[in-house]
Each structure stands twice: as structure tokens, then as C-alpha cells.
Amino acid sequence: MDDSEFDRAFIGAAFARVGRDGWRHLSLAGAAQDAGLPLARVRLRFPSSAVLLLRFGRYADAAALTGVVADAGSVRDQLFDMLMRRIDVLQAHRAGVLALLRAVPFEPGLAALLGTASVNSMRWLLEAAGVSVRGPLGLLRAKGLLAVWLWTVRAWKRDESEDLSATMAALDAALARAERAAGWLPHARDAAANPASPDAPSAKGSPPEGVASDEPPPESPG
């Protein structure tokens, strides 16, 4: 079993435990035993629950970025597809991710970890869509896309449909609002060539107009 297969097996077992017992009661050794994985290797690959979350986030990012082709469709369409692939990863571990999200408001350190990791994930997705993330405007764009993501996760938590139609509708609406926010999404490729564009928003750290935030997901449960 290579590292990728090993990580997927352990992540699945760990989030199954979280879904059953809650985040605070997660035992990494217990998850290893559930999955029939050697404890020594789990200790090397997942020395802490924080590493578990970061690896899960990177796994979600990898799924989001799979198959991305430069200049294939509009920025909005590319971001929609990537964010929905990220949602698909959360959906595969739904019970565990929901239990984790319930714990986040009560654990500031966990919230900070996931928030920072999630901003980095949004940077990757924006760059994959051809959007510059350099400088203060780049950070603003990443935070704007994070607001879109959190709004989508909020809808996903309540969406029990098989096709996740409510989640897709929420994501589409959030991206539409972001697209109408001057300088954030509609001229992204032009702004990449001219970071000092006069259309750039001046409200540092503000989310796209009309998009509300929710508790941070794991860097990828989250």
C-alpha cells in the first residue's frame, strides 16, 4: 500500500470514528486499529489530529484540482467545478465532517488552524482558475472565495438530497454575487496582469457582497 492509499484508508477510518464518537473523543490509535493499519506507520504519517486535518484538506484540494485545464471555461465555471469536487470529498465523509464542524466553535485553536489552511486552499483554487493571488488584493480574493466556500458548506450541512442540488444552488448564487463585486472576479485575468487595477476593492478582508460566513471547515473539511 503506497502512502496515498494508506492516507485515504486512515482518513476514512478516522472520520468514521469522529462521526460516531465526536471530534473530542477521536483516538488516532483506535482509528488505525479500525482500519487494520500498522500503528508505527500511522504514527509517522499522522503524528497528531492537526496533521490529520491538514492531510485531509490537501486530499480535498487534490480532488478539486484534478483535471483542471488552463483557460477551460470562465473563472466562475472553473471555481464552481473545483469547489463542488471539494464538497464531494466532504460528502464521502459526511458524518465525521459534520461532527467536526459542530466542535469548531468550541475550540479556538482548531478554528484558527482550519481558517488559515482554508485560505491557503482557496489560493490554490484561484491560481488554478488563472486568478492572481499576489499581494493584498490576492489575499482579499482568497478571503472572498473562502466566504463563498463557507456559504456553500453551510448549505451542504442542511442538504440531504442525493444530488446535492441545494448545495449547488447555494454555490452558484454565491459565485454570482462574487462575480458582481467590482474587481473581485469578473476581470480576474486582467487584474492578474495589472494588480493595481482601479476596480480593486478597498475593504481589506471583506467577503463578496451578500455572502455570509459560517464556521470554518477542515482545510478541507474544509
User: In the chain, where are the structural domains located?
Assistant: 1-47, 57-222
Asked if pLDDT for residue 133 goes beyond 80, the answer is yes
Q: Which of 209, 206, 183, 208 is nearest to 196 (CA)?
A: 183
Average pLDDT over residues 157-165: 95
Determine the average pLDDT of the residues in 26-41: 97
> For residues 151 and 212, what is the distance between their CA atoms, to the nearest angstrom?
6
Q: Could you give the C-alpha distances from 59 to 11, 66, 98, 135, 178, in angstroms and in order?
A: 10, 11, 18, 26, 26
Grid cell, residue 151, equals 456559504
Tell me the pLDDT tens digit for each residue of 84-121.
999 999 999 999 999 999 999 999 999 999 999 999 99
pLDDT score of 221? 62
Per-residue HEC secondary structure of 44-103 comes to HHCCCHHHHHHHHHHHHHHHHHCCCCCCCCCHHHHHHHHHHHHHHHHHHCHHHHHHHHHH
CATH number of 1-47: 1.10.10
pLDDT of residue 97: 98
Q: Which three cell numbers stand for residue 183?
A: 474587481
